[in-house]
Amino acid sequence: MAHWINEAIFYHIYPLGCCGAPRRNDFSAVPQPRLDRLYHWLDHLHDLGINALYLGPLFEATAHGYDTADYFQVDRRLGTNQTLAGLSDALHERGIRLVLDGVFNHVGRDFWAFRDLLQRGSGSPYRDWFVAVRFGERSPYGDPFSYASWNGHAELVQLNTRHPDVRAHLFEAVGMWIDTFHIDGLRLDVADSLDLDFQQALAAFCRVRRPDFWLMGEVIHGDYRRWVNPQTLDSVTNYTCFKGLYSSLNDRNYFEIGYELNRLFGEQGLYRDLVLYAFADNHDVNRVASNLGDPRHLYPLYALLFTMPGVPSLYYGSEWGIAGRRDPWSDVALRPFLDPRDAACHSPYPQLALAIGRFARIRRRLPALRYGRYRQLHVSAEQFAFAREMPGSYVVVALNAAGTTASLEIPIPHAGERLVDVLNGEEAFAIRDGSVVIDPLYPCWARIMEVR
């Protein structure tokens, strides 16, 4: 039986930014239910065709949320556990799955066990909860001991996830999230740094609790099969294709993304049997509208994102083409406060969200776009065509990044009389002798066609 992830279309919200929370936590403050602002997004998510929400980080933290202080309490800047439970119920009532951030590689310096280490020193029962604690050395914060941190960021203290008590604590938290918030999965932060044995143990724990629980890892480099396999995770972030989605358009070089898609998902593709998490931007990278040189390219880019292999994800606000660039010191510009009612009214590209909604509905309508094999049919500088095929369903996607109309002749190695374009008013093209001429192919747009 197919896993629910094959049917998923994700929306990604960074809640501390989206809900307008203060940048730093006052741990003595009364909880503020800012998470309730996400109720205003529910109709919008329905209009976009979204059926899964990746929301995080959410738990009590010092600043940006990836510096956890307490895994068992929702960050007071966002509300309480009851606030999140209510939102989860509302999402599930609308048929929207909920996936949270699992930040297990490291914690913040306000994490309760690390504070105990600061207070008791070598006498703390939690000294072995953290990696490479060495007394007699000093940390960048002047502590009388040093410790391992994530990527040199001393505010992010590396957890010893091989310690049985650490595992028990984290697994207890995940069990509580499943029972209390009815979550459907987790995105594992920095999975490419997180102990692999821990990930396998976590996977076994979650699948006993819920056989359909989905685990996805944040992986930037490496062979994805190291993480995605029956013993470990179900998916990872497809950073391999992330850059090509926009740079192939900027450089007038569809060969770039065509090469990667064929290498990953073609007949001999490395990951042809994996369902990777596909995205054009997120809370860590520039908004795609800021990466593109020509805003008209947003349309063929999202057409490709919603038709290529994998599960597509849309980062909040990017459906309106909002800009955002990271700088060397801060990611704040990538994670703004946003109200969907205002954002829709002030969108620089008001038609983009409507187009993305159409792409999503077509994806949900055509099973080959969710389950079909990938076959490249044509690639040139500014035109690209491929097929998604499975028994009973054969779909051809043709993209034109040029600012002028194009014409393509492509092979159709599948029985049928014509291609019918479900994106553009059921326009049809006759198949003759195993090929078809697609004319016109509209500027900065796409055709999504069924063989009939």
Tell me the HSE value of 443 on the side-chain side, using a 13 A CA sphere: 7
Residues 145 and 209 in one domain: no
Question: What is the dihedral sign for C-alpha 38, 39, 40, 45?
Answer: positive
Per DSSP, helices labelled H in 132-238 are 164-181, 196-209
Residues 351 and 387 in one domain: no
Give me 104's structure tokens. Answer: 């297990």
| Range of the structural domain that residue 439 is part of | 373-451
Residues 284 and 388 in one domain: no
Q: Write down the pLDDT at residue 329.
A: 85
- Alpha-carbon distance of 372 to 392, in angstroms, equals 10
Helices (H) and strands (E) in the chain, counts: 13, 23
Whether the predicted model's global pTM rises above the 0.95 cut:
yes
**Domain limit, last residue, from 314, 338, 368:** 368
- Write the pLDDT tens digit of every residue in 386-405: 999 999 999 999 999 999 99
Residues 266 and 183 in one domain: yes
Residues 115 and 102 in one domain: no
Residues 202 and 278 in one domain: yes
Q: Write down the pLDDT at residue 303.
A: 98
- Write the pLDDT tens digit of every residue in 163-218: 999 999 999 999 999 999 999 999 999 999 999 999 999 999 999 999 999 999 99
Residues 103 and 123 in one domain: no
Residues 323 and 244 in one domain: yes
Question: Can you list the residues of the chain whose pLDDT is less than 50?
Answer: none
Residues 101 and 31 in one domain: yes
**Domain limit, last residue, from 335, 368, 401:** 368
Tell me the HSE value of 239 on the side-chain side, using a 13 A CA sphere: 15
Residues 242 and 346 in one domain: yes
CATH for 217? 3.20.20.80
Question: What is the dihedral sign for C-alpha 189, 195, 201, 207?
Answer: positive
- Alpha-carbon distance of 119 to 253, in angstroms, equals 58
Residues 97 and 55 in one domain: yes
3-state secondary structure of 87: helix
3-state secondary structure of 267: coil
Q: How many domains does the chain have?
A: 3
Residues 222 and 331 in one domain: yes
Give me 159's structure tokens. Answer: 């957890």
CATH for 377? 2.60.40.1180
**Domain limit, last residue, from 119, 135, 157:** 157
Q: Write down the pLDDT at residue 404.
A: 98
- Alpha-carbon distance of 201 to 214, in angstroms, equals 14
Q: Write down the pLDDT at residue 1.
A: 52
> Quick check: 325 and 288 in contact, CB under 8 A?
no
